[in-house]
Amino acid sequence: MGLLLIVFMICTAVLFSGYRRITVISGDRFVHQCPKYAKPGQTVTVMTSVISDGELYVNGVDGRFLRPGEFQFVMPDEDVQLKVTVIAFKDGA
């Protein structure tokens, strides 16, 4: 059992070497698709909810919305923690 765990850990380390972690730390209910890992310099696309009665923001990394519901950024050489926030429009706005 211990040997199997060691082999698994070595395989995981080799498989993900050079990759950085992407974590959604808030607002994950608005994220429909987001990779867990990416290599530095890789373009990452995050699919989010489309909000019609407010604004959706993704913080934690420089990026931009290509279109409603599709946020894209270039993976830095560090782990990324995304915060997704929705601010509802006030009546009459």
Span 31-51, pLDDT tens digits: 999 999 999 999 999 999 998
Q: For strands 70-74 and 54-59, give the pairing.
A: unpaired
- Distant-in-sequence, close-in-space partners of 79: CB < 8 Å, separation ≥ 6: 20, 21, 22, 23
pLDDT tens for 17-26 read 799 999 999 9
Whether residue 14 has pLDDT greater than 60:
no
Identify the DSSP state of 4: H
pLDDT value for 7? 55
